[in-house]
Amino acid sequence: MASATETVQAKRSHLRSYLFLTVALFACLLPFSGKAFNIDDTLFLYVARQITQHPLDPFGFKVNWFLDAVSMAYETKNPPLAGYYIAAAASIVGWSERALHLAFLLPALAVLWGTYRLAQRLTDSPLLAAAATLLAPAFLVSANSVMCDTMMVALWIWAIIFWIEGLEPRRPVYLATSALLIALCALTKYFGAALILLLAAYSLARLRRFGSWAWYLLAPILILTGYQHWTKAVYGLRMITSAAHHSTGMRRARQSSLLAKTLVDLSFVGGCALPALTLAPLIWTRKKILAVCVGSGIAGFFISTGRLFLGETLWPFDFYQHWIVVGIELTFFIAAGFSVMALAATDAWKRRDADSLLLMLWVFGTFLFTGFVNWTINVRSVLPLVPAVGILLARREDTLRLSSMRWRPAALGIALAAGGAVSLWLTWADAELANSARTAANLIEEKTRNPPGGVWFMGHWGFQYYMESFGAHAVVVNDPPRLPGDYLAIAETSRLFEVRPEFVASHEVIQIPMRLGITTASGELGAGFYSADSGPLPFAIGPVPAERYDLIRLGAGCASANGSQKNSLQCQ
């Protein structure tokens, strides 16, 4: 009777935890649900709109993303499943920012519930694991977008859950469900295919032999092979192979050193999984923390002062003028990255079982992909390891909690709250940055309403989406605007050529201030949340410069230049 009572109480406790996670997620992200579309949201929206008109031809259109219109199949490096989700959601709730951001709370909730469900098997503190996932900057910022990343992580986690629960005792339906989820995960983001190797290694470690389970892993391989043949037949290229070649080419062009890539990768891992930093005093000894901080401080000094950089083509911005602040932030983030890797390695060394191997390969595999396989180091690539880090933190806590039960829960709560406060601050700042592009586009529309000529722009991400929404045209480099009366709007970060002064009738600068003191994207502060091309930090704290847009009206001088067959916009 006592056992049955305990079972009922446990179920009620888990239900309360699921409800708490749901409320916490909505409390964190509902205030930012009106955020403007940003970064690659625009590309996913393009695909979704195409799907509504041609459901079996998601990439059958052209897009001008970098000053030339090319086939979307060649431009995008992501599969189409997230686009199908957007199209389905929009058919129900509409295409507004708030509607689609609310729709993407469902995959985010699936990540939290999945983390909790998986952690129930792997730790005595599943709520701690899920809370550490929720309060990580990588999760909150990524969940507040309409890109594929959070959706991919949700499918990733549930594929692992069904596989583990279906492996022993053998449950064919669970294994088949997992195989399907693996395929869907890879068709949301190609990195999902890594699950095949991850779960194969886990199964061998757990069962010590090949078995019928291996046949289930052939299903996603066959599905992805079929996808390759389909894209070749329809679009003329194998899109998975094309994405891999693109990454290889970008990495070779940078000629980055192994040490630089490793340190920046650690910086992004540590910043993405911020609870690993705030909880460090509770899970590591002072001597270990001091040793890691000294090493991280030296690395931060070399990077922040320009003595070590990621590649000759990167970091053209002068964040070195803030080298002290950047160096301090690098020290903390690199140290947190070491903490994450040490958690995975220590757990595997002490436990030496299939579960610890799964977590270690999950973390180390994502780390290696981000730093040495993907086209750039960014937070979106680090995101898949965040739930694993949450579980590892909980497992570490399981081994330490008995030493000081009285004060430890309060200390854990304070540490998580500190990390969560920074994550929410960053989410707010990322929304402010995204909204600035929408604000600028609206101001430009007001200033150019009913112009004698056309309205053109340079810049993409959310700025492109909102400029195109009122009929402006992206500049084509071989055929730029040249008629008197044409307007040209230029985002400061996308200035690829200048207009010669004699062709300018008027020039206005639009500046949108960034007031929150933290940012995901600023070359001047070394923040490169979406790409380490902007700097070695996943995010930065400091005086964030205003977002600047130039609005130029072409003058009568263009007519004479055009008459003599000269290009009025001279590349410089």
Point out the domain boundary residue: 237, 266, 288. 237
Coil, strand or helix at 59? coil
Identify whether 480 is part of a domain: yes
Point out the domain boundary residue: 195, 221, 237. 237
Query: Please, are residues 155 and 106 in contact by the beta-carbon 8 Å criterion?
Result: no
**Structure confidence by residue, pLDDT tens digits, 206-263:** 998 888 899 999 999 999 999 999 999 999 999 999 999 888 887 777 767 888 899 9
Domain that holds residue 453: 430-563
Query: Please, are residues 456 and 473 in contact by the beta-carbon 8 Å criterion?
Result: yes
Contacts of 264 (CB under 8 A, 6+ apart): 303, 310, 371, 377, 532, 536
Say which amino acid occupies 357: L
> Is the pLDDT confidence value at 501 over 60?
yes
How many domains are contained in the chain? Answer: 2
Identify whether 164 is part of a domain: yes
> Is the pLDDT confidence value at 351 over 70?
yes
Identify whether 167 is part of a domain: yes
**Structure confidence by residue, pLDDT tens digits, 94-142:** 999 999 999 999 999 999 999 999 999 999 999 999 999 999 999 999 9
Identify whether 232 is part of a domain: yes
> Is the pLDDT confidence value at 565 over 50?
no
Question: CB burial class (10 A; 0-12, 13-18, 19+) of residue 21?
Answer: buried
Residue 533's pLDDT is what?
85
Strands 504-512, 547-554: pairing is antiparallel
Identify whether 191 is part of a domain: yes
Residue 313's pLDDT is what?
46
Which residues face 462 on adjacent strands? Answer: none
Say which amino acid occupies 394: A
Measured torsion, CA atoms of residues 508, 512, 513, 514, in degrees rounded to the nearest 10 = -140
Identify whether 112 is part of a domain: no
Identify whether 349 is part of a domain: no
Identify whether 44 is part of a domain: no
**Which ranges of 147-257 would DSSP assign to H, the alpha helix?**
149-167, 172-186, 194-207, 213-235, 239-254
> Is the pLDDT confidence value at 537 over 80?
yes
Point out the domain boundary residue: 237, 255, 279. 237
**Structure confidence by residue, pLDDT tens digits, 415-455:** 999 999 999 999 999 999 999 999 999 999 999 887 777 88
